[in-house]
């Protein structure tokens, strides 16, 4: 008998059920946080006329030109500077789609991979020069997406509803 078996045998039945429920839904707070944050970030970009400009205070163009020489991948910054407004719109739409997919749990692993790629690209460009490294939030977002890439959204998600219906059809 393992230590967990002993503890569960000694614990009141309600406690065991609560532990199992908490374990089953452990990633839900992370899904909600990342989903809401990415939807908000995308909407914030789309509704900020200063950000959606090629130049000027607060513009995506000035931001990217400002980080170009300190980024880990200047070629990625140069690519965004070919069409800064188009890049900003694509980034915002990507964030919204990733956030919505994560919130409703639809293609969760794909959405999480998209979120991780967005966070990775922002870390390698915008926040690469932040020191110490733990002050930059993009690396933290990158790490936060990894559990959802690995586990998906097995509960309280459209993925689980679809999986359940497909398994009933094949049974």
Q: In this predicted model, what pLDDT tens digit does every residue of 89-104 receive, in sequence order?
A: 999 999 999 999 999 9
Q: At what angle do helices 84-104 and 28-46 cross, to 10 degrees?
A: 150
Q: Is 150 helix (H, G, I), strand (E, B) or coil?
A: helix
What average pLDDT does range 136-164 have in this prediction? 95
pLDDT value for 5: 57
Burial class (CB in 10 A: 0-12, 13-18, 19+), 87: middle
The answer to whether residue 48 scores a pLDDT higher than 80 is yes
- Which residue's entry shows tokens 């794909």? 110
Report the helix count and the strand count for the chain, using DSSP H and E: 9, 0
Q: Is 32 helix (H, G, I), strand (E, B) or coil?
A: helix
What average pLDDT does range 128-133 have in this prediction? 93
> What pTM did the predictor assign?
0.87
- The vertex-154 CA angle with 139 and 94, nearest 5°, equals 45
What average pLDDT does range 31-46 have in this prediction? 98
Q: For the chain, what is the mean pLDDT?
A: 92
The answer to whether residue 140 scores a pLDDT higher than 60 is yes
* Cα separation values, 74 from 67, 94, 130, Å: 8, 21, 16
Q: How far is CA 37 from the centre of its chain?
A: 8
**E strand intervals along 63-114:** none
5 or 130, which is more confident: 130
Percent over 70 (pLDDT), the chain: 92
> What confidence category does residue 155 fall into, taking pLDDT thresholds of 50, 70 and 90?
very high
Find, among 37, 110, 105, the residue nearest to 45 by Cα.
37
């Amino acid at each position: 008998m393992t230590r967990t078996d002993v503890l569960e045998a000694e614990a009141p039945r309600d406690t065991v059920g609560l532990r199992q429920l908490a374990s089953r839904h452990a990633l839900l707070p992370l899904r909600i946080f990342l989903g809401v944050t990415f939807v908000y970030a995308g909407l914030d970009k789309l509704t900020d006329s200063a950000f959606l400009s090629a130049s000027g205070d607060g513009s995506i163009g000035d931001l990217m030109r400002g980080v170009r020489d300190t980024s880990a991948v200047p070629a990625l910054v140069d690519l965004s500077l070919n069409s800064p407004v188009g890049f900003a719109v694509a980034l915002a739409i990507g964030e919204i789609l990733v956030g919505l997919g994560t919130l409703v749990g639809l293609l969760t692993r794909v959405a999480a991979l998209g979120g991780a790629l967005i966070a990775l690209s922002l870390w390698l460009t915008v926040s690469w020069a932040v020191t110490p490294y733990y002050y930059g939030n993009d690396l933290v977002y990158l790490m936060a997406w990894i559990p959802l890439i690995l586990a998906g959204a097995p509960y309280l998600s459209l993925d689980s509803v679809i999986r359940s219906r497909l398994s009933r059809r094949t049974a």
